[in-house]
Amino acid sequence: MHAHIGIIGGGMGGLLLARALAEQGVASTVFEREAGPGLRAQGGSLDLHPESGQRALRIAGLEEGFWKLARKGGEELRVYNSSGQQLAHRIPDEGADTAGRPEIDRPALRDMLRESVPEGTIRWGHHLVEISPRTNGGFTLRFDGTEDVTCDLLIGADGARSLIRPLLTDAKPSFAYSYVEMHITDVDQRSPEISELVGEGTLWAFGDSMNFGAQRNGDGGMRVSLSVPGEEDWMENHGIRANDPEGSRAALHEVLAQWSPTLTDILDVTDDYVVPRPITTLPKDVGWEHHPDVTMLGDAAHLAPPAGEGANQALLDGALLAQSLLSHGVASDGSMNAQQRAAAIADYEDEMFPRATNAVEHSLQMISIALAPNAAETTAKMFA
């Protein structure tokens, strides 16, 4: 098989790119390692920013669909300290129907993107294991258990552990902090008290240089999380393991023993679902020498701690890369000559590098604030 444009990774950035190209009649192929849609947890909800995520959807012709799925009430934010005292409460402007940063569930957004691309664009069950440059340009891609594929233009949208990244840079992710994710199904029915405590959006509680959060999702569930600075083996040393949800809850209660039960009682309602996740980040200065046949977007290019920028920047990367390819004469089948590809990649990367560097710096700054000893007071002042 040959693909003129091969996109590795069917996350939001890769799918947005494929959609923005298809909207203008240009074919591409997305190679996704999952065997099919909905087989992997997609996380909670995210807020799409007007200048990035919403702009990307507008470029791809998906803005109307987004507003049908967006939850304006999801912008509500309540800030607490570890004693259970509410320090700030941000309520969204109900009159602003098409402004601000409304929430959308990640699965709903990904489904919208997936359904917006032509049938056959996504090749499921394609786990990339090897990349070989071709003598006449482009690459040969070897997938585990499927046929080899050749492509002229290779685009890495394959996330934090990108296999495309080593083709362009020696930068490697480094550990930032520990993150534990849990979930509450049907929170309104299981615990009306917690539902009322969190409200329609997000609760952030800060203390002891930790961030304890609860975020409502559009499916009636709630995502619960704890972020902790320190050593990479912190979760293992505290007995927080994916295969032991009961023991993990007990361990988290011990970690938060000095916190108000108003907050820590949330742990007792969580499902038997625990995901200990080390958060990693790439160096804040994003950049590499232009290569005429390969580029990256999203976390593959500029991995940063989750602070509201990652998905937004990935979507915008996809949209602007599509625009650059279109402006340099990509044909309907995705073909371009070598000079066109090189120029399109250079234009995209010249815009993306400083923008992504700013986004990574912002994310690092926000996480530094959230995991500082005075995080509760600082965050409350930001959102008061």
Check whether residue 248 and residue 287 sit in a common domain.
no
Check whether residue 126 and residue 190 sit in a common domain.
no
The answer to whether 69 and 106 have CB atoms below 8 angstroms apart is: no
Query: Is 90 contained in some domain?
Result: no
pLDDT at 97: 47
SS (H, E, C) 261-326: HHHHHHHHHCCCCCEEEEEEECCCCCCCCCCCCEEECCHHHHCCCCCCCHHHHHHHHHHHHHHHHH
The answer to whether 38 and 48 have CB atoms below 8 angstroms apart is: no
Check whether residue 157 and residue 218 sit in a common domain.
no
Q: Considering 280, 295, 313, which residue would you say is the last residue of a domain?
A: 280
Check whether residue 337 and residue 241 sit in a common domain.
no
Q: Considering 253, 280, 307, which residue would you say is the last residue of a domain?
A: 280
Query: Is 113 contained in some domain?
Result: yes
Number of domains comprising the chain: 2
Is 98's pLDDT higher than 50?
A: no
Check whether residue 27 and residue 114 sit in a common domain.
yes
Looking at residue 254, which CATH number applies to its domain? 3.30.9.30
The answer to whether 5 and 155 have CB atoms below 8 angstroms apart is: yes
Query: Is 92 contained in some domain?
Result: no
Is 296's pLDDT higher than 80?
A: yes
Check whether residue 130 and residue 31 sit in a common domain.
yes
Q: What DSSP line would sit under 53-121, residue for residue?
A: HHHHHHHTT-HHHHHHH-BGGGG-EEEEETTS-EEEEE---TT-TT-S--EEEHHHHHHHHHHHSPTTS
Query: Is 364 contained in some domain?
Result: yes
- Structure tokens given for 137: 């340009």
Check whether residue 289 and residue 257 sit in a common domain.
no
Per-residue burial over 187-206, b if 16 or more Cβ lie within 10 Å, else e, is beebbeebbebbbebbbbbb
- The reported pTM is 0.91
Is 104's pLDDT higher than 60?
A: yes
Q: Does residue 124 sit in helix, strand or coil?
A: coil
Query: Is 87 contained in some domain?
Result: no
Check whether residue 153 and residue 260 sit in a common domain.
no
Q: What is the helix (H) or strand (E) element at residue 216, kind and residue range?
A: strand 210-216
Query: Is 246 contained in some domain?
Result: yes
Q: Considering 280, 295, 324, which residue would you say is the last residue of a domain?
A: 280
Looking at residue 339, which CATH number applies to its domain? 3.50.50.60
pLDDT at 351: 98
What residues contact residue 106 under an 8 Å CB cut-off, 6+ apart?
12, 42, 43, 44, 45, 46, 311
The answer to whether 213 and 229 have CB atoms below 8 angstroms apart is: no
Question: Which one, of 20, 67, 74, lies nearest residue 46 by Cα?
Answer: 74
Tokens 């009636």, residue located: 220
pLDDT at 147: 86
Question: What percent of the chain shows pLDDT beyond 70?
Answer: 96
Could you read off the pLDDT of 356-375 as tens digits, one per residue?
A: 999 999 999 989 989 989 99
Check whether residue 199 and residue 154 sit in a common domain.
no
Range of 207's domain? 175-280
Is 40's pLDDT higher than 70?
A: no
Check whether residue 205 and residue 314 sit in a common domain.
no
Query: Is 83 contained in some domain?
Result: no
Check whether residue 217 and residue 364 sit in a common domain.
no
Check whether residue 54 and residue 154 sit in a common domain.
yes
Query: Is 53 contained in some domain?
Result: yes
- φ, ψ of residue 382 in degrees (nearest 5): -65, -35
Residue scoring higher pLDDT (8 or 37): 8
